[in-house]
Amino acid sequence: MTNLLKFLVRYNNLFIFLILEGIAIYLLSTGNNYHNTRVVNGIRSLTLGIEAKISNTRNYLNLREINSNLAEENAAIRNSNGLLSGKDNSLFFSVFDSAYQQHYHHTSAEVIGNSINRQKNFFTLNKGERQGIKVDMAVTSGNCVAGVIVGCSENYSVAMSLLNLDFKLSARLKSNGYFGSLSWSGLDVQHAILNEIPQHVAVNRGDTIETTGFSAIFPEGVMIGTVSDFENIGGDFYNITILVATDFRKLYFVDIIGNMMKTEQLELENLFQ
């Protein structure tokens, strides 16, 4: 206490100066609009900077939840988009006409198990029959082909990955519409083979390959990949290597697409087979 008093006495002029200067600065920052704004803004930018850092960290920690929310939102938007898109090119339609009803149904799901290093790869999703998932629904990731549901339990389902030798898909060249059969090469996670494209068709590296919609599993026009290489092996068909657009090594959130008119289509097709 004595020391404190000594200290105060020794520097009394400094303290008088600081107190009076404090009053002056207070007057300065409250009495003048301009200075007031500058002071308030200065403090605010400081606190905002700190708050932004805290918020960034919090967002990072919540990223998983945010991602799944976004995925569900995406699915909902695709659903509503499907409701509207059937009406594009017709002048008259009845809202009760089944021809214009929603064609595809989207559900988002999280990949909880995945394999990429076998010849027959599957991945597991966290949604099942209770969530409306059925066998033979299509699975896409970021609007690119990922696989097909092959088995469902109550809350889980297993999808055959595109990286599976049993996976066959009807695919076409986006530029000219010639279609063929796509399967995995079995060699690495990035490449698939497209067969049955006749040799008179112009193929270029970088051409987009998309689904045809013939199988009633995938909607028409879902991206599969791009032509990375093609060779003329002497037969009637090209041997086209596809660079797959989906990166199976980081498959986390997928869309499950159900064709609501599939039964109808298959029944009709079965009549003639």
Partner 1 sequence: MINSILRLGLIFILLILLQLLLFNNIQFSGYVNPYVYIMFILLLPVEIPAWLLLILSFLTGLIIDLFSGSPGMHTSATLLAGFVRPHILRIISPRDGYEIGSDPSMLTYGFKWFLSYTILIVVVHHTALFYLEVFRFADFFRTMFRVLLSSLFSITFILMVEYYRRGK
Binding site for partner 1 (CB under 8 A): 12-13, 16-17, 20-21, 23-32, 34-35, 38
Q: How far is the CB of 38 from partner 1 (least distance, A)?
A: 5
Nearer to partner 1 (CB atom), residue 6 or residue 130: 6
Nearer to partner 1 (CB atom), residue 16 or residue 84: 16
Q: How far is the CB of 29 from partner 1 (least distance, A)?
A: 7
Q: How far is the CB of 144 from partner 1 (least distance, A)?
A: 50
Nearer to partner 1 (CB atom), residue 15 or residue 60: 15
Nearer to partner 1 (CB atom), residue 13 or residue 89: 13
Q: DSSP for the chain? A: -HHHHHHHHHTHHHHHHHHHHHHHHHHHHHH-HHHHHHHHHHHHHHHHHHHHHHHHHHHHHTHHHHHHHHHHHHHHHHHHHHHHHTTTT-S---TT-GGGS--EEEEEEEEEEE--SSSEEEEEES--GGGT--TT-EEEETTEEEEEEEEE-SS-EEEEEEEETT-EEEEEETTT--EEEEEE-SS-TTEEEEE--BTTS---TT-EEEE-STTSSSPTT-EEEEEEEEEE-SSSBEEEEEEESS-GGG--EEEEEEETTHHHHHHHHHTT-
Nearer to partner 1 (CB atom), residue 8 or residue 70: 8
Q: How far is the CB of 3 from partner 1 (least distance, A)?
A: 22
Q: How far is the CB of 45 from partner 1 (least distance, A)?
A: 13
Nearer to partner 1 (CB atom), residue 7 or residue 60: 7
Q: How far is the CB of 25 from partner 1 (least distance, A)?
A: 6
